[in-house]
A and B are shown apart, each in its own frame.
Chain A
Amino acid sequence: MNLLNGPVFKRLEGAISAAELRQKVVSNNVANADTPNFKRSEVLFEELLAQQMGNQTSQINGKRTDSRHFVIGQSDSVPGASIVADANTVMNNNSNNVDIEREMALLAKNQLTYNYYIQQVNHDMRMIRTAIEGRA
């Protein structure tokens, strides 16, 4: 039975660690806002997840009777968050491309997204607790 090991929960877990990583990367961008020749980085996760899930809706699913079988169609695997450096743009005359307004906006957005994920995790757990206790 998949109480806490289901694909939804795994996706949430991946999203939370991606948000943590993004927090660190944005902090690093803000920290280096005055550093000459610094190039900002970004964390990709939601896009990768949407890509993976979007590709799977119309595909056939293979049933796996052995853990060594290849996965056909929908897989439970969650893509890992990846860091990409934005090396091509230039913002200031010292080759730094950190736009502090944008970074602060990303910071606020990431924080709200993180809170939302945590709330979702708590909601899932409450539902399971309701099922265990058998009362609302």
Chain B
Amino acid sequence: MKLTNGFNVSASALTAQRLRMDVISSNIANAETTRGKFVNGQYEPYKRKMVVIEPIQPSFSDVLNAQISGSERAAGVKATRIIEDSSPSKLVYNPSHPDADEAGYVKLPNVDVMKEMVDMISATRSYEANVTALNATKAMFVKALEIGK
């Protein structure tokens, strides 16, 4: 039945939004991490991570089936990559910090907690919208079972 595919579409979005949420949590948790990576004998601060999401491109068999049985192309969404924000690290003067350089400056991660909170709200709302869509599909499925009763 066609309706079951609607579940997959919504489920793929739930997965993608959950991943966004995980990455945002990681960014907030590491907002003060000065030892994110060890490169060439020196610690580098944590870099802010971002999720790249794309619509799922239908496979060959999907396209073929769609052409045979009528037009259907909705396929959902998927997170394809996690990339690092390349914006410069924050420099804070704190000579007593163990990772301070000769001039007394510490490199802090390029994480803006405010920005992360906004992204988090966006991810939460998207997640909720997709749960609503999933519930609507479910209600329709249950209703279809009533045919002929």
Contacts and interface: CB of A to CB of B under 8 A. Distances in A.
Contact of B149 (A19, A28, A122): A122
Given A20-B2, A122-B149, A31 B77 contact: yes
Contacts of A25: 74
Interface residues of B, number: 41
Contact of A118 (B1, B77, B146): B146
B10 A118 contact: no
A76 B76 CA distance: 34
B76 A28 contact: yes
B73 A41 contact: yes
A35 B57 CA distance: 13
A104 interface: yes
Interface in A32-78: 32-36, 38, 41
Contact of B54 (A19, A28, A35, A114): A35
Interface in B104-149: 122, 125-126, 129-130, 132-134, 136-137, 139-140, 143-144, 146-149
Contact of A108 (B125, B136, B149): B136
A30 B129 contact: yes
For chain A, give the interface size range: 35 or more
B73 A27 contact: no
Nearest to A115: B143
Contact of B147 (A33, A103, A118): A118
A28 B130 CA distance: 9
A55 B127 CA distance: 44
Contacts of B147: 118, 121-122, 125
A34 B122 contact: yes
A30 B17 CA distance: 12
B5 A24 contact: yes
